[in-house]
Amino acid sequence: MDSDEDERIPFSQRPEWSDIKPVPQDDGPNPVVPIAYHEDFRETMDYFRAVYLADERTPRSLRLTSEAIAMNAGNYTVWHFRRLILETLNTDLHEEFDFIENIAKSNSKNYQIWHHRRWVAEKMGTEATNMELKFTRKILSLDAKNYHAWSHRQWVLQALGGWEDELDYCLQLLEEDIYNNSAWNQRYFVITRSPLLGGLPAMRESEVRYTIEVILLNPDNESPWRYLRGLYKGDAEALVGDPQVSCLCMKVLSVRGNTFALNLLLDLLCHGLQPNGELKSVVEGLTNSESDSIDPSLAIKVCSLLETLDPMRSNYWAWRKVTLPSHTKAI
Amino acid sequence: MGELEMEKHVRYILTIEKKKDDFVSLVIEHLRINGAYWGLTTLDLLGKIETIDQDEVVSWVMKCQDESGGFAGNIGHDPHILYTLSAVQILALLDKLDVLDIDKVSNYVAGLQNEDGSFSGDIWGEVDTRFSYIAICCLSILRRLEKINVEKAVDFVVRCKNLDGGFGSTPGGESHAGQIFCCVGALALTGSLHHIDRDLLGWWLCERQVKSGGLNGRPEKLPDVCYSWWVLSSLVMIDRVHWIDKEKLARFILDCQDKENGGISDRPDDAVDVFHTYFGVAGLSLLEYPGVKAIDPAYALPVDVVNKIIFKK
Ligand SMILES: [Zn+2]
């Protein structure tokens, strides 16, 4: 269809369509101006309305929906009718995948396409697994954060399987772009849900090691900091109990101030971390205002540092400061 | 800082409403009802709803209703929950809910709830937390929330919560500001905000503000005016909006205006559209910009409309 786009023959001049009377869009009461729509598209939709209203589920109607979708992949009703036709004609769904792939190239963020793809894959079952994993890989190679592609991929893994290479795939994407939050999310999805890896308890140690390594290389990357917290399932006591975590904060802060490290340190202090002398002196080194050195509380110093380092969220940090648990004020 | 070009935006909305002759308006023919909601709400927030012929709008909206009770994006198209909410919101906005067969519409929406509490968008079964919000919002406006299993609906939304405090489209899906708005809205409308860790989510949301003052929807993405609505309304619902720099955000939105012809774009100097015009004005409304009516963050309707219709004030 791509190749002969320039020499499109209007439906009104195609013999196979001579029996159809096109139906124009009813634009409601008082259509404001005579509508001078883009002619090809208008004509296609007029013929579409005709077969749709007649509920004509034939191969020619299927071809007509292909043309209509190629011109505008967002029209919900056209997709809806296409599925009805596919069901009625019992069409070979392999061809449908090729069709979708063609359309998806230029419309990878269109809800309808992904929904349709899911519908076809669901009908096909596990036979579609590899094809779907390959297809989403292809889309993600063009846009690694495409939300639809990720949703589809997660659905494929859970409904059809194919978990074997998923952790490697996440690693590969993170090597390409360590800031890719979608890949971090997928990594968490895999380590917590893959039936092959034993879940979070089995994966935690190696994941913590990997994440710490990544953070030390790029401390300004928001995603691994959140991932690290996720590895402890938001359990603050477990975070406090692991010396690797406070050690990471210290290492990062010994180079320079960093909002993520300071924020994590603040949470650790709020949940009972007893800071050692080394940690205190690292934070001390970042503080230059005399006013804070009068107040000995480490948590207050951390809050003040955050207020200066991140002025856009200064209200947040000020709030953290006034809501500090009383036990933090003594250390 | 520039001012909000209210009159120009009103004129922009009124002209696109009339302009049905270009390809762009043609391809959005199927979602005209969403466009109508964005345009009309913007007009109302700017105090100019009376400039349109309301009866004409109502009779057109009613022609988009399908036998099932659901609404389509335009006359002759198929119904979907997305369009049904827009139709109900438009009628609420115009104080014309009495033209609806309330039970018929609410039965359509309630019929889309699945066993696990989630909602499908239509008979084809696509599931997404967006649809949970839409169903709950729609039924709240119609005062028919009892037609669904609210507890299960809430359970499903909670299952989509991530460890960063945010929400995705399905369990395990990446946190995304648009989905967060839907999930927080669904929980707010069902009185279930206690399922949210407000401080954790509030921090994630305020981290969305970037140097330019704009908000993005996920880490490392570009800021976009539409997130002014999604992030901001979520922050308002969990009472953490004071954590961001509101002035900088307002300036970012104002910088996205087309100062000559009206309309607001996603980022400064991009082409304007009705979608971003609505989200820009709605964002400024949440920021209490002078002269813009207040909008309710959960219903996405002006506060006076919500008071009148839902609280019968
Ligand atoms: Zn946008």
- Alpha carbon distance B33, B29 (integer Å): 9
Q: Do A49 and B56 touch (CB under 8 A)?
A: no
Tell me the pLDDT band of A108, cut-offs 50, 70 and 90. confident
Give Cα B221 to chain centroid, integer Å: 21
Say if B289 falls within a structural domain: yes
- pLDDT for res B256: 97
- pLDDT for res B18: 66
State the nearest Cα–Cα gap between A179 and chain B, in angstroms.
Answer: 7
Q: What is the mean pLDDT of residues B209-232?
A: 95
pLDDT tens, position by position, B42-91: 999 999 999 888 898 999 999 999 999 999 988 888 899 999 999 999 99
State the nearest Cα–Cα gap between B307 and chain A, in angstroms.
Answer: 31
Say if B306 falls within a structural domain: yes
Cβ of residue B294 closer than 8 Å to a chain A Cβ: no
Cβ of residue B243 closer than 8 Å to a chain A Cβ: yes
- Write out the catalytic residue numbers of A: 109
Cβ of residue B207 closer than 8 Å to a chain A Cβ: yes
pLDDT tens, position by position, A195-214: 999 999 999 999 999 999 99
Q: Do A147 and B27 touch (CB under 8 A)?
A: no
Cβ of residue B164 closer than 8 Å to a chain A Cβ: yes
The CATH number of residue B75's host domain is: 1.50.10.20
Residue A141 CB partners (closer than 8 Å, separation 6+):
none
pLDDT tens, position by position, A57-68: 999 999 999 999
Q: Which residues of A51-66 are buried (b: 16+ CB within 10 A; e: fewer)?
A: bbeeeebeeebbebbb
Give Cα A229 to chain centroid, integer Å: 19
Tell me the pLDDT band of A2, cut-offs 50, 70 and 90. very low
Q: Do B172 and A189 touch (CB under 8 A)?
A: yes
Expressed in angstroms and rounded, the spacing between residue A206 Cα and the centre of ligand 1 is 38
Q: What is the mean pLDDT of residues A300-314?
A: 94
Show the tokens assigned to A53. Answer: 């209203």
- pLDDT for res A295: 65
Show the tokens assigned to A26. Answer: 């009813």
- pLDDT for res A71: 86
Cβ of residue B63 closer than 8 Å to a chain A Cβ: yes
Expressed in angstroms and rounded, the spacing between residue B227 Cα and the centre of ligand 1 is 7
- pLDDT for res A42: 84
Tell me the pLDDT band of A3, cut-offs 50, 70 and 90. very low
- pLDDT for res B78: 85
Tell me the pLDDT band of A29, cut-offs 50, 70 and 90. very low
- pLDDT for res B238: 97
Q: State the distance between the two ends of chain B, measured CA to CA, in whole angstroms.
A: 37
Q: Do A230 and B172 touch (CB under 8 A)?
A: no
The answer, yes or no, to whether residue B281 has pLDDT greater than 90, is: yes
The overall average pLDDT reported for chain A is: 90
- pLDDT for res A40: 83
Say if B256 falls within a structural domain: yes
Q: Do B59 and A181 touch (CB under 8 A)?
A: no
Helix (H, G, I), strand (E, B) or coil at A70: helix
- pLDDT for res A236: 79
- Alpha carbon distance B37, B141 (integer Å): 15
Q: Which residues of A230-265 are buried (b: 16+ CB within 10 A; e: fewer)?
A: bbbeeeeeebbebeebbebbbebbeeebbbbbbbbb
Say if B1 falls within a structural domain: no
Least confident of A151-160, A280-289, B14-23, B178-187: B14-23
- pLDDT for res A27: 57
Expressed in angstroms and rounded, the spacing between residue B311 Cα and the centre of ligand 1 is 32
Tell me the pLDDT band of B16, cut-offs 50, 70 and 90. confident
Say if B130 falls within a structural domain: yes
Chain A residues with CB-CB distance to B172 below 8 A: 154, 158, 189, 192-193
Q: What is the mean pLDDT of residues B254-267?
A: 96
Say if B36 falls within a structural domain: yes
Tell me the pLDDT band of A74, cut-offs 50, 70 and 90. confident
- Alpha carbon distance B159, A294 (integer Å): 47
Number of structural domains in chain B: 1
- pLDDT for res B93: 96
Tell me the pLDDT band of A4, cut-offs 50, 70 and 90. very low
Residues spanned by the domain of B33:
6-310
